[in-house]
Amino acid sequence: MQSHLEENMQQDIDLIRSEVIRMGALAEQALETCLGAIEQNNRQLAYAVILRDRYIDELEANLQSLCQRFLIKHLPVAGQMRFVYSVIKINTELERVGDYAKSIARRFLTVTDLGAHASHPKLTDIANLAISFLRNALQAFTDRNAELAKATRQKEKERAIDNLRYEIHSDLIQLHNNGELPSEALVPLVTIVSCLERVANQSSNICEEILYMCTGEDLRHDYQQVLRVLCVAEHDACRGQMAVGIGNTLEPQRIHFSSAGVASQPLDPQTVEFMAEKGIDITGQTSKYLSQILDLEDYAIIVSLCEAADKALPSLASRPVHISWEVQDPSKIEDTEKAVQAAYQKTFEFLDTHLRELTQAILGDDIDKEKETDV
């Protein structure tokens, strides 16, 4: 039989849990309304998302207050402490999902103001996938289902969202290059896609908190084991793509390379052919604008491959580390076939040498840190 104090604590836990479920339902509804606005080209639905965001913000503030009072009132330990600590984190993640939904709605209005349409078959696919991740995460919280949380997190890590995002970016850039999509509409549409990707990321974070809450298993910092490196060139068609191809063959379990360009052009066919001759398949890679990268601060290292990239990079805080390499773009060489091939070889050797040295330095630094921890 529970004591009065235990009953009182359980009542407070149930109240907090119900508020999380309520907030999650509003966040999911906001995303579904955004999708409806895009599919139906309905500006009224977009305005509804923007206006209703304040309810999510109010719930976020209320949950924060409830959790603080719970900590002071009950001085929880073990499972109850894990519960309230995880809820504080989940609260923040859901508030961000609400912000992403509002951002999607605003970008949709910008696109329609230009007379363009935001609908795209693959955009619907990525939206439905992101919403399903969030729905599963919320169901796992409601049911206290650690297995569902773990499976959802694993599904998100399979990068299906990333692949769809790259495909959509390529399609949008092609439409823009063909004159079918105005420049002013390109960035808002790219931002919508990136926001949906971030929703999937937030859902994975929620699943990690649920696992910790239910089992004590802490997977919340696994992502730090994979260090992210971004290579930036003038056009993300040749040098950056070569760098990614080389880099991701070195230590893929520890370091992940990606690329972007100040401007964006389709993947250079000769670069694809040259890399294939080196045994590196880059056909699955796509070019991206630097402006499409919304989480620059989450990269550990940014490597600029030319002066144009140096100038285009925004000023960031101490992280990430910025490294400058001046690398020749062989795709711009107009000469004999032999001379062009030699230019590709020279760029490849430069990138291969420098990326290997950078990778060894990163791993060496990690090893040194591990040694310091062991002492």
Q: What are the structural domain ranges in the chain?
A: 4-223, 226-374
Write out the CATH class of domain 226-374: alpha beta
Mean pLDDT, consecutive 10-residue stretches, the chain (375 aa), reads 74 92 96 95 95 94 90 79 89 93 94 85 90 95 93 84 80 82 84 89 92 78 68 93 94 86 87 91 84 78 92 75 91 91 95 92 56 39
Q: What's the gap between Cα 205 and its chain centre?
A: 11
Tokens describing residue 26: 């509003």
CA 141 – CA 206 distance, rounded (Å):
9
- Can you list the alpha helix ranges (DSSP code H) found in the chain? 4-40, 43-74, 78-113, 121-143, 146-157, 160-177, 183-215, 239-247, 269-277, 307-312, 337-374
What is the CA 166 to chain-centroid distance, rounded? 12
How many residues make up the chain in this entry? 375
- How crowded is the C-beta side of 150, counted as CA atoms within 13 Å? 12
What is each CA distance from 264 to 176, 233, 267, in whole angstroms? 11, 9, 9
- Give me the pLDDT at residue 283, please: 83
Tell me which residue has tokens 């949008």.
172
For tokens 């063909």, the residue is 178
State the fold for domain 4-223: Methane Monooxygenase Hydroxylase; Chain G, domain 1 (1.20.58)
